[in-house]
């Protein structure tokens, strides 16, 4: 009888353990849920170190959630030749709906719809691609838990995220490997792989701060070893739930 009880107890423990084991998607959902704000804004400074060259960029980023969808407005502040150029993107949660993108060129006073085909291109000549800057919907990728380990002194989950077929052609990457901090639910390290499973780039995130109740990484380093290139990015003046009006994310806002 004692053996039976022990077996039942062991079974319960195993079942309990399995029931609480997180899947890769669960971890992706947890990451997606970190930012509980309705909207936000931040300023970013990027320094691109490429060989002996050093390029400096400054931009302002605003975002707002519209249900499950999200709208983002990026304003370039520096360098001088792109000052006041703005990008407005409407990103949809539904993977089958194409994002809407508009750009405003201040020298021509022109608002122009552009296609999403440029996502693979470099963001302001940095090591970030345009697709690295935008928010990815959870189900744009399939997520697999690889292991639980430590990164530095932090306990992390390691997951692999592979774009779903409809999104794969829009991406430079065949796979991303993410080290997700178990406390903050933020990736502290991301490796980007191409279709031949070669490592393309590595990003590490740090300077994690609790801002308005939301864990936020304020410093990012993206390295592209093949190009001997590195981009440092730092966020300033991060603020959440500001109550930005809807029309701040309409085309009329681009000219302001």
Partner 1 sequence: MWRGCAIGFGVFAWLCIAGLDATAQEDPFAFDLSAETSEERRWRVSGFFESRNQRFISQDSFLSLRQRGQLEIKYTSHSERWRFFTSAYGEYDSATEDYRSPFRGEVLEAYGVFDGPSTDITLGRQRIPWGTADGRSTIDRVNAVDFRDPIGNARTSSRRPSWVARIEQSTSIGVFEGVWLPIGRDRRIPEQGSPWEVSFLADLRAARDTGAFVLNIEDPKVHEGGFRFLQFGEGFDWSVAVFNGLSDFPLLSLQTADRVRLTPARFTTVNLSAAIGQAKSTWRGEIAYTPDFPLGLGRTTDLGQVIIGWDRTFLRDLYVNVQLFLDRFGDVDDTYGGTFAITNSFFDDATEAGVRGQIANEGQYAIETFADYEFNDAITLTARVFVFGGETGSDLGEFRENDFAEVSLRYAF
95 touches partner 1 (CB under 8 A):
no
Nearest to 171 by CA among 203, 141, 205, 138: 141
Name the segment binding partner 1 (CB under 8 A); options: 28-36, 153-161, 178-186, 244-252.
Answer: 244-252
Identify which range of 18-26, 31-39, 77-85, 154-162 contacts partner 1 by CB under 8 A. Answer: 77-85
Cα 59 from Cα 173, distance rounded (Å): 25
- Is residue 116 at the binding interface for partner 1, with CB under 8 A as the rule? yes
Nearer to partner 1 (CB atom), residue 120 or residue 198: 120
Stretch that binds partner 1, among 18-26, 118-126, 136-144, 155-163 (CB under 8 A): 118-126
**100 touching partner 1, by CB under 8 A:** yes
Q: Which of 12, 14, 56, 239 binds partner 1 (CB under 8 A)?
A: 56
Q: Work out which of 9, 13, 21, 110 binds partner 1, going by CB under 8 A.
A: 110
Q: Does 185 bind partner 1 (CB under 8 A)?
A: no
Does position 172 interact with partner 1 (CB under 8 A)? The reply is yes
* C-beta neighbour count of 224 within 10 angstroms: 19
Q: How far is the CB of 248 from partner 1 (least distance, A)?
A: 11
Q: SS3 string of 123-177?
A: CCCCCCEHHHHCCCCHHHEEEEEEEEEEECCEEEEEEEEEECHHHHCCCCCCEEE
Least distance in Å: CB of 107 to partner 1?
8
| Residue count, binding to partner 1 (CB under 8 A) | 54
142, 164 contact by CB (below 8 A): yes
Binding to partner 1 by residue 15, rule CB under 8 A? no
- Kindly list the residues in this chain that would bind partner 1 in the complex (CB under 8 A): 45-47, 50, 53, 55-56, 58, 77-81, 83, 90, 92, 97-98, 100-102, 108-110, 112-118, 120-122, 125, 170, 172, 204, 206-207, 219, 221, 227, 229, 232-234, 236, 247, 250-252, 255-256
């Amino acid at each position: 009888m004692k053996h039976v009880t022990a077996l039942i107890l062991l079974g319960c423990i195993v079942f309990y353990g399995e029931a609480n084991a997180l899947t890769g998607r669960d971890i992706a959902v947890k990451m997606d849920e970190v930012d509980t704000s309705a909207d936000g804004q931040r300023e970013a400074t990027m320094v691109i170190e490429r060989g002996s060259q050093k390029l400096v960029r400054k931009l302002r980023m605003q975002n707002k959630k519209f249900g499950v969808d999200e709208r983002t407005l990026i304003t370039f502040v520096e360098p001088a030749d792109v000052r006041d150029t703005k990008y407005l993107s409407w990103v949809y949660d539904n993977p089958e709906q194409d994002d809407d993108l508009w750009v405003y060129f201040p020298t021509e006073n022109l608002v122009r719809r552009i296609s999403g085909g440029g996502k693979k291109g470099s963001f302001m000549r940095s090591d970030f691609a345009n697709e690295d800057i935008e928010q990815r919907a959870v189900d744009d990728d399939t997520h697999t838990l690889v292991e639980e380990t430590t990164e530095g002194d932090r306990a992390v989950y390691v997951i692999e995220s592979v774009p779903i077929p409809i999104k794969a052609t829009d991406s430079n990457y065949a796979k991303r490997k993410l080290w997700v901090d178990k406390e903050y639910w933020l990736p502290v390290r991301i490796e980007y792989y191409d279709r031949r499973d070669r490592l393309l780039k590595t990003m590490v995130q740090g300077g994690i701060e609790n801002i308005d109740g939301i864990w936020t990484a304020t410093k990012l380093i993206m390295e592209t070893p093949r190009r001997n290139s590195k981009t440092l990015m730092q966020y300033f003046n991060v603020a959440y739930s500001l109550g930005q009006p809807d029309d701040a994310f309409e085309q009329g806002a681009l000219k302001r």
